[in-house]
Amino acid sequence: MQQIYLDNSATTGLCREAKEAMCEAMECFGNPSSLHSLGAHAARLLRDARASVGEALGERFLKDGQLIFTSCGTEANALALLGTAHAKERRTARTILTTDSEHPSVENNLRLLEREGFSVVRVSTRGGVLDMDTVRAHCNADLFMVSMMLVNNETGARYPVEEVFAAAKAANPSCVCHCDAVQGFLKVPMHIRTMGADLVTVSAHKIHGPKGVGALYVSERMLRERRLSPFLCGGGQEFGLRSGTENTVGIAGFAAAAKAGAATARTAMPHMAHLAAELVAGLAGNEIRVNRPPVAAPHIVNITLPHIKSETMLHFLSGKGISVSAGSACSSHAAGPSTVLLAFGLTPAEAASSIRISFCPENTEGDVKALLAALGEGVSSLVRTKH
C-alpha cells in the first residue's frame, strides 16, 4: 500500500543530505574536546555545523556561545527558561509573559518558575490571534521575560513575536525575549536579527534532520550581560552553557538538513501553502470545519470532524496508508482534550474530534486528493458520537 505521510509537525523523514553527512561524521569519531588530530577533526565538524545552522537562522558569523547544541528542542527551551531565571545576574522584575497555547516544554517549565515565585501571564490566542491589548498592558518595568512560540504546533497560527518583543523591550530594555521557533524554522520567513529575540529554540527532526538534536541561539547581549546559566553542569562543553560530549553525528545531520532546507525554503514555503489551500478548498461544502488562524504557517491545517472521534478517523486513515495526527505527538499520551484547541476556542467535544494535517515540501497534490477522498469516505461511513 502506498504510504502518504502528513504528520510532519510530529517529525519529518531524514533528508538525503542529512543521511550522507551523518554517515561521514560516523567515521570521524574523535571527541571535539580532545587535543589530538582526531579531536581537531571533530571540532572542525562542530564549528562548520554551527556556521550552517547559524546561516539558516540568518546569522552566519556567530560569536563563541551564540549557538548552543542541545539534545532536543525541549532541552533548548528548558535552558532558555530555567537558565535565564536562575542566572547569577539577578533582576528584581518577576513577570513572565507567554501565551495560553505554548508547547509543554515551555508551559511545564513556566509552572516550575511559578512555584519559585515568578508571576506568569498567559495571553489569550483565541481563534489563533494573540491578544495584543493584554500584551501591551503587561509591558512595563516588571517584565522579566517573554517566551512566545513563532508558530503553534497544533493550529499553525503564526504569532507576531517581532511586535511583542519590540513592545517588551521598549517598556523594559533588560527584559529577555525567548522564541520557541521549532515549528516555524524554515517553514515561515524568519530572521534572527529582525525578530529581536535574545534566545531562539530550534530542533533538527522538524526540518528533516535527525531526532535528538536541538539548538539554542543566544544573543550577544545575553552573553555580555551574563544572563544565561547552564543547568547541565560538567566538563564545560558548548562554551560552558551545556556540558556533555557533543552528539557530533546528530549535529552534522542537523547542519546538513538546515543548509538543504534553507536553500529550498523559497520554493518549499509556497508549495506547502498551495497544498494547504487545495486541502481547505477541497473541504468546502462538507461537514468538516477548518480551524484556520488568520495568519498561519503554510504547513499545518487543523480540522474538526462532524461527531467523529479524532482517534477513530486517525485509525481509518492509517488503514488507508495515510498518517495524520490527533493533536500534537507529545500530547498523544495526555488525558483529555488538547489545551491548545480549547485555547483556540473549541469546545472539549470539538477538540476531541479534531485532527492535524501537516505537510512537508515532498508532499504532492496527489497526496491531498487521496486525503480528501479518504476523509469523505470516513465521514460518511464512521459511526458518529453525540457531542
User: Which has the closest alpha carbon to 179: 205, 154, 150?
Assistant: 150
Cα-only R_g, the chain = 21
User: Which has the closest alpha carbon to 282: 380, 158, 367, 156?
Assistant: 367
Phi-psi region of 383 (alpha: psi -120 to 50; beta: other; left: phi over 0): beta
Q: Taking the complex as a whole, how short is the minimal distance between the CB of residue 73 and ligand PLP, in angstroms? A: 3
Nearer to ligand PLP, 182 or 249 (CB): 182
Give the 3-state secondary structure of 333-352: CCCCCCHHHHHHCCCHHHHC
Distance of CA 381 to the CA centre of its chain: 35
Catalytic residue, candidates 175, 233, 330, 360: 330
Nearer to ligand PLP, 182 or 288 (CB): 182
Residue 386 DSSP SS3: coil
User: Does 72 participate in catalysis according to the annotation?
Assistant: no
Nearer to ligand PLP, 12 or 219 (CB): 12
Q: Which residues, including other chains, have CB under 8 Å from residue 87's CB and lie 6 or more apart?
A: 226, 227, 228, 229
Which residues bind to ligand PLP, rule: CB under 6 A? Answer: 72-74, 77, 103, 105, 149, 153, 180, 182-183, 203, 205, 214, 328, 330
Q: Taking the complex as a whole, how short is the minimal distance between the CB of residue 310 and ligand PLP, in angstroms? A: 17
Element spanning 148, H or E: strand 143-149
Q: Taking the complex as a whole, how short is the minimal distance between the CB of residue 114 and ligand PLP, in angstroms? A: 19
Q: Taking the complex as a whole, how short is the minimal distance between the CB of residue 104 and ligand PLP, in angstroms? A: 8
Nearer to ligand PLP, 31 or 323 (CB): 323
Please state, as a whole number, how many other Cβ atoms lie within 10 Å of the Cβ of residue 108. Answer: 14
Q: Taking the complex as a whole, how short is the minimal distance between the CB of residue 78 and ligand PLP, in angstroms? A: 10
Nearer to ligand PLP, 150 or 374 (CB): 150
Q: Taking the complex as a whole, how short is the minimal distance between the CB of residue 57 and ligand PLP, in angstroms? A: 16
Long-range contacts of 283-286 (CB under 8 A, 24+ apart): 283/372, 283/375, 286/376, 286/379
Give the span between the Cα atoms of 145 and 135, in whole angstroms: 12
Give the span between the Cα atoms of 14 and 22, in whole angstroms: 10
Please state, as a whole number, how many other Cβ atoms lie within 10 Å of the Cβ of residue 218. Answer: 25
Nearer to ligand PLP, 179 or 283 (CB): 179
Annotated active-site positions, please?
A: 330
